[in-house]
């Protein structure tokens, strides 16, 4: 089945926030952000801006009717700065005008006087000064102190990974419309409509039921709109409520890049111990998460970092500690992988370091330590249906990596200027929100009198194809033609208390709820048909839009059935509620069974490096991935390709720079480089592992959103191998992204 949005997207007819027709009298708002990263607001002069014709009003913290607080997990983030500012771009005021141009013109005329302090941008420096966003956590297994004594080899080091801009094509935005009796309707480009509803209610000081949040689809999100769509919706809502006019905010790219949070940079220490058989006996790591100026989702992201400390490997003695460090940068936030990629980069760095000193290939150590069935993760969960070894073996067999390595060796002997490198990257990613209560969802299904079906869930379509998958689930379960089914917008009035569409779990959670609702309707229809045909229920089945009696097709067709059942006054609306079973986690011991299942896979990535210029090409990405029984191969492959390329971008070319003053240097697409079609791998191949998939995945189709991102980490280590082929003593820090500049420097480093 094709993605149901395909035609809309390529013809430009799909509706995004900016395509919603505007009501008469709509006003436009832009936010004024702090010029400085750390300081006090001494005074603010709004006068010159306020007198510009067309300016409706300028709002500041003082105008907030409810709480000036938008922190999702911890209450540490004001909507508008009051006296202190903690990052460049932190919203201070909102200018509302008849059009956007006027609002921007007015914004330029606002004068703010600051008392400036030195900003902190480095997480280790923040930790030294005691600047933590919340208390640190440590996950431990085995007996690390004694384990070191049993190690033949011990290596220590440091690994750094950088921030990453989400670069969703659709920037952040919201459109708020006043309804009767002081109620509000809010369109928002958000992954979490309920978070928006709840936070707007808090900021405006009104109950949640007065606010209806509606989302058609997003033009990309990648985690950037899990928590950080909220501020803009609060601003539009507040202005709309106060002025009793529709108010729209749609961020310009430069504002979006400057004002919103990105993937967390991490600085980490590692210590790894192996026995003489190269089994990893002990692993100790400390993560310094750069959290930015407020907690945002950092507690949950830090937690996922700790869960994924050992990636796909079994290590009996582990100690992983994490600090979330408060710096004067925009609050860092969710981004595809949610802290796991950062953890995996560290363990892969530790293995690479061990391999380098021991003069073996990293893949030798990787392979020996892959997780096996019934191994215990360091957080207490027992690994089941493990496919780490299987996916590794498939990559080696299907793509003949041994032969490829021999060819690369030959190539490297024969070429002075060009060198090639290959690396294998196994991935093991836990599926579920790590916060157990978030793993729930609801679906609302109406069968209309004409046999057509409307479906509402909490899932947000952001390009990942969740609506297509939901439609498939309903079509299969009701056994009707997909053409009869429509997926409605995501709306908090139809489906309430939703978890954000995140954690790769959108299709699983909402799909399971939908399945329950559809099964419920099936029961009622079968009961109805048995009454119409005057036979018992057991002999009836509904298949391919027809009623079957003891396996024989009857004349009773779907449309007629629905009509008759309706006339019999049977309820044709169902609500399904799903809460993931089996998962639990105890924070006091840091042990439990937090994940419903894990997604496994392995990628081989090969690169070709130009050793004169430091430039490189990603030649091939070859993956064996555990889809389970994929609901939609095209969509899942799209997620694999997009994820891998995005992961490679993070590891190689996407470099975010801040000045000493805490100002974003890479603030536009001329200075921030993401993979384009030329930088993307020349080929991406992906083979499905032959697995059935777990029952707790939607129709045994495993979660796909985030896991492929981490295959991209292989590009870093492939490049490293290519550099080493040119200069065996090259000094290459574990410092991602490995940009062409850094590659060039390291090619000619060392003895
Ligand atoms: N969001 C969240 C996530 O709130 N909790 C999670 O565990 C998570 N994991 C991945 C991506 N987003
Ligand atoms: Mo997320 S990183 O919003 O799944």
Q: What's domain 25-117+172-250's architecture?
A: Alpha-Beta Complex (3.90)
The catalytic position among 654, 706, 733, 741 is 706
In contact, 298 and 329? CB cutoff 8 Å: no
What pairs with residue 557 in β-bridges? Answer: 546
Domain ranges for the chain, please list them: 25-117+172-250, 266-434+587-747, 440-579
Q: In whole angstroms, what is the distance from residue 70 CA to residue 324 CA?
A: 19
In contact, 491 and 212? CB cutoff 8 Å: yes
| Strand pairing report for 91-97 and 173-178 | unpaired
376 part of the active site: no
**Residue 750: pLDDT band with limits 50, 70, 90:** confident
Q: In whole angstroms, what is the distance from residue 318 CA to residue 685 CA?
A: 34
DSSP 422-472: EEEEEEEEEES-SSGGG-EEEEEEEE-TTS-EEEEESPPPSSS-HHHHHHH
Q: In whole angstroms, what is the distance from residue 173 CA to residue 27 CA?
A: 14
Residue 606 has pLDDT above 90, yes or no: yes
C-alpha distances (whole Å) from 585 to each of 223, 314, 410, 563 are 23, 20, 51, 48
3-state helix, strand, coil in the chain (%, to 5): 35, 25, 40
Query: Which ligand number lies closest to the CA of residue 429?
Result: 1
Q: In whole angstroms, what is the distance from residue 637 CA to residue 687 CA?
A: 10
On average, the pLDDT of the chain sits at 98
Q: In whole angstroms, what is the distance from residue 201 CA to residue 492 CA?
A: 13
DSSP run (H or E) holding 78: none
For residue 223, give the ligand 2 atom closest to its CA.
Answer: 3
Sign of the C-alpha dihedral computed for residues 18, 21, 23 and 24 taken in this order: positive
| pLDDT single digits (tens) 186-243 | 999 999 999 999 999 999 999 999 999 999 999 999 999 999 999 999 999 999 999 9
Residue 532 has pLDDT above 90, yes or no: yes
Q: Is the CB of 709 under 6 A from ligand 1?
A: no
The DSSP letter of residue 696 is T
| pLDDT single digits (tens) 431-479 | 999 999 999 999 999 999 999 999 999 999 999 999 999 999 999 999 9
| pLDDT single digits (tens) 686-743 | 999 999 999 999 999 999 999 999 999 999 999 999 999 999 999 999 999 999 999 9
The fold of 440-579 is: Aldehyde Oxidoreductase; domain 4 (3.30.365)
Q: Is the CB of 302 under 6 A from ligand 1?
A: no
Would the CATH topology of 266-434+587-747 be identical to that of 440-579?
yes
Cβ atoms within 10 A of the Cβ of 675, count? 20
CATH number for the region 266-434+587-747 comes to 3.30.365.10
Q: In whole angstroms, what is the distance from residue 269 CA to residue 274 CA?
A: 17
> 3-state DSSP call for residue 85?
strand
Site to substitute for ligand 2 among 192, 301, 336, 647, most atoms within 8 A of C-beta: 336
Q: Please give the distance, rounded to the nearest whole angstrom, from the Cα atom of residue 221 to the centre of ligand 2.
A: 8
Residue 751 has pLDDT above 90, yes or no: no
């Amino acid at each position: 089945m094709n993605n149901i949005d395909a035609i809309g997207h390529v013809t430009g007819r799909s509706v995004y926030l900016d395509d919603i027709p505007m009501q008469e009298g709509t006003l436009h708002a832009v936010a004024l952000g702090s010029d400085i990263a750390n300081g006090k607001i001494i005074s603010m002069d709004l006068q010159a801006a306020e007198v510009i014709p067309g300016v409706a009003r300028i709002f500041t913290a003082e105008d907030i009717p409810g709480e000036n607080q938008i922190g999702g997990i911890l209450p540490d983030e004001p909507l508008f700065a009051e006296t202190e500012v903690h990052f460049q771009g932190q919203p201070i005021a909102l200018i509302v005008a008849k059009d956007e141009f006027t609002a921007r013109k007015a914004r330029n005329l606002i004068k703010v006087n600051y008392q400036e302090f030195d900003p902190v941008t480095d997480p280790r420096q923040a930790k030294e000064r005691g600047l933590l966003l919340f208390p640190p956590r440590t996950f431990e297994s085995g007996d690390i102190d004694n384990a070191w004594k049993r190690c033949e080899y011990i290596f220590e080091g440091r690994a750094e990974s950088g921030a990453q801009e989400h670069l969703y094509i659709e920037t952040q935005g919201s459109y708020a419309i006043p309804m009767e009796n002081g109620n509000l309707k809010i369109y928002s480009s958000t992954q979490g409509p309920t978070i928006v509803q709840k936070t707007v209610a808090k900021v405006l000081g009104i109950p949640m039921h007065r606010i209806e949040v509606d989302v058609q689809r997003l033009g990309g999100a990648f985690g950037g709109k899990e928590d950080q769509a909220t501020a803009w919706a609060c601003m539009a809502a507040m202005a709309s409520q106060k002025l009793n006019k529709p108010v729209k905010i749609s961020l310009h790219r430069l504002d979006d890049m400057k004002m919103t949070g990105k993937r967390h940079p991490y600085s980490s220490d590692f210590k790894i111990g192996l026995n003489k058989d190269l089994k990893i006996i002990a692993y100790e790591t400390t993560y310094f998460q750069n959290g930015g100026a407020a907690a945002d989702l950092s507690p949950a992201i830090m937690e996922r970092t700790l869960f994924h400390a050992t990636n796909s490997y079994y290590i009996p003695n582990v100690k992983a500690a994490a600090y979330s460090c408060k710096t004067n940068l925009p609050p860092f936030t969710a981004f595809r992988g949610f802290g796991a990629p950062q953890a995996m980069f560290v363990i892969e760095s530790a293995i690479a370091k061990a391999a380098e000193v021991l003069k073996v290939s990293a893949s030798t150590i990787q392979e020996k330590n892959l997780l096996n069935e019934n191994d215990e993760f360091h957080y207490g969960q027992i690994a089941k249906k493990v496919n780490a070894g299987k996916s590794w073996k498939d990559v080696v067999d299907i793509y003949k990596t041994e032969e490829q390595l021999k060819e690369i060796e030959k190539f490297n002997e024969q070429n002075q200027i060009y060198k090639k490198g290959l690396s294998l990257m196994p991935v093991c990613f836990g599926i579920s929100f790590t916060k157990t209560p978030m793993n729930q969802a609801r679906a609302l299904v109406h069968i209309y009198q004409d046999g057509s079906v409307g479906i509402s869930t909490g899932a947000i379509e952001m390009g990942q194809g969740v609506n297509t998958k939901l439609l498939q689930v309903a079509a299969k379960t009701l056994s009707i033609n997909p053409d009869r089914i429509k997926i409605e917008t995501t709306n908090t009035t139809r489906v309430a208390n939703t978890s954000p569409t995140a954690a790769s779990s959108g299709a699983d959670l909402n799909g399971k709820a939908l399945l329950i609702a559809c099964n419920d309707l099936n029961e009622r229809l079968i009961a109805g048909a048995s009454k119409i045909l005057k036979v018992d229920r057991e002999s009836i089945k509904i298949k391919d839009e027809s009623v079957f009696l003891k396996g024989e097709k009857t004349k009773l067709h779907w449309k007629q059935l629905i009509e008759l059942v309706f006339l019999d006054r049977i309820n044709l609306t169902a609500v399904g509620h799903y809460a993931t079973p089996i998962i639990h986690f105890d924070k006091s011991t840091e042990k439990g069974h937090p994940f419903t299942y894990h997604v496994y896979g392995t990628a081989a990535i090969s690169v070709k490096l130009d050793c004169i210029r430091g430039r490189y090409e990603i030649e091939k990405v070859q993956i064996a991935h555990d889809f389970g029984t994929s609901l939609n191969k095209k969509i899942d492959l799209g997620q694999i390709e997009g994820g891998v390329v995005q992961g490679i971008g993070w590891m190689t070319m996407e470099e975010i720079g801040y000045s000493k003053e805490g100002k974003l240097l890479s603030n536009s697409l001329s200075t921030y480089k993401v993979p384009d079609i030329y930088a993307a791998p020349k080929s991406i191949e992906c083979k499905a592992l032959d697995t059935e998939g777990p029952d707790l995945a939607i129709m045994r189709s495993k979660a796909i959103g985030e896991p492929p991102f981490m295959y991209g980490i292989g590009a870093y280590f492939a490049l490293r191998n290519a550099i080493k082929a040119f200069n065996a003593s090259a000094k290459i820090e574990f410092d991602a992204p490995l940009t062409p500049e850094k590659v060039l420097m390291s090619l000619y480093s060392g003895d």
